[in-house]
Amino acid sequence: MNIEKTIFHLSGLPTTGKSTLIAALKQEFLGSSVLFVPEFFEKIPNYVLQADSANLERKCKAQRWIIDQNKRKNQLILDCHSNLVISERGIIDAFAFSYALGQGVYQDSLSYAGTESWLSGITIFLVANERTIKERLFTRDGVTEKIWKNYWQPYFKRVIVGYRQAKKTIKKEKFIYINTEKEQKQSIVEVTQLIKTIQLVLSR
């Protein structure tokens, strides 16, 4: 049976509140038919976690693992009987982070993912300014000023450019940006109401 689905991809840079938002949405839609799709279905292999410091071949291998996870997501959503799907990240994120690993990795990822018919939806992208992200990383992960300047700051800048490039690839995907510098509860309420409103409009 072909069911019209509204697909939301929850995205954003680290520390913008994605995990907290997903946990809150699961409580909000508890007992409903909403399908929540995790970022990954399996434990992340070490070679994926360590891809940033690897050679080109291992970086490509790592991103192919992530794309394979997204292919499983794609098929799960395609086969499901729910008309509302909330997914933790999506293929656009995979492309964006591939770009951050280098142009060779990005091109390999596009080629590897190219034959898949990716389902498009609405990406809710959580944003915060650089100072806020930096402060959260310092508090959450104990990141030092040196590590921030040498690694995280340039890495985030590459990822942001990667998102701009990835948006050109999945052209039908719509983006909605949510500022998470306000109180966390306010962001959660805003996103919850947004999802319910869009679902109501599209179901008419």
pLDDT in tens, 16-26: 989 989 999 99
Give dist(CA 121, CA 63) in Å, integer: 22
Give dist(CA 15, CA 143) in Å, integer: 12
**Residue 157, pLDDT above cutoff 60:** yes
**Residue 202, pLDDT above cutoff 70:** no
**Residue 1, pLDDT above cutoff 50:** no
CATH superfamily ID and name for 6-203: P-loop containing nucleotide triphosphate hydrolases (3.40.50.300)
Share of the chain above pLDDT 90, in %: 72
**Residue 125, pLDDT above cutoff 50:** yes
Work out the angle at residue 170's Cα, subtended by the Cα atoms of residues 151 and 38, and round it to the nearest 5 degrees.
65
Highest mean pLDDT among 63-77, 105-119, 179-193: 63-77
Among 32, 78, 86, 92, smallest CA distance to 194 is for 86
Tell me if 39 sits within 8 A of 97, measured CB to CB: no
Stretch 130-150: mean pLDDT, rounded?
A: 93
Give the pLDDT confidence score for residue 3 in this predicted structure: 63
Sequence spans of domains, the chain: 6-203
**Residue 201, pLDDT above cutoff 80:** no
**Residue 111, pLDDT above cutoff 80:** yes
Mean pLDDT of the chain: 91
Give the pLDDT confidence score for residue 204 in this predicted structure: 66
**Residue 184, pLDDT above cutoff 60:** yes
Tokens of residue 104, six digits: 């060779």
Give dist(CA 76, CA 44) in Å, integer: 19
Tell me if 139 sits within 8 A of 192, measured CB to CB: no
| pLDDT confidence bin for 152, thresholds 50/70/90 | very high
Give the pLDDT confidence score for residue 183 in this predicted structure: 75
